[in-house]
Amino acid sequence: MTASTKVGLVVALTALLVIGLSTGLVSVARVLEGDESQQVGEVTGRVAEGTFIGMTPDEVSQLLEVSPHSRKFQGWDVTFRLAEQQPFPVDGVWLVVRVEQGHVVEARIIED
């Protein structure tokens, strides 16, 4: 395989990955590495079970061992960064929660 063929292959694979991530065809769990992937899976399970409902944001932070992040998403009160997406570390996987009267009333995993 020539050098130009290798470069073309890398460009094509990168483009496919970007398209897959942006359209949701590629699962985030597949591009996260090791511990981050496991943590996202565990938190996703807790969201599905309703574990965070009724907790205070501080209790969520203590359970996750992650401090609330300063980034805000419209419609959500508190965000926790769970992982960076590879190969673009500016993107992430987040736990976002909606809070009423000091307690979580809704939680969701989102990607950006």
Strand, helix or coil for residue 85:
coil
Identity of residue 38: Q
Q: Considering the domain boundaries, does residue 18 fall inside one? A: no
Instruction: Report the chain's mean pLDDT, rounded to a whole number.
Output: 76
- 21 falls in which pLDDT band (50, 70, 90)? very low
DSSP state of 68: P
Q: Residue 95 has what pLDDT?
A: 93
Q: What is the pTM of this model?
A: 0.63
Q: Considering the domain boundaries, does residue 15 fall inside one? A: no
- Number of structural domains found in the chain: 1
Identity of residue 64: L
Q: Considering the domain boundaries, does residue 86 fall inside one? A: yes
Higher per-residue confidence, 85 vs 37: 37
Provide the domain limits for residue 106.
28-111
Q: Considering the domain boundaries, does residue 9 fall inside one? A: no
Q: Considering the domain boundaries, does residue 16 fall inside one? A: no
Rounded CA gap, 96 and 74, in Å? 10
Main-chain phi, psi angles of 27, to 5 degrees: -70, 140
Q: Residue 72 has what pLDDT?
A: 84
Higher per-residue confidence, 92 vs 7: 92
Q: Considering the domain boundaries, does residue 5 fall inside one? A: no
Q: Considering the domain boundaries, does residue 20 fall inside one? A: no
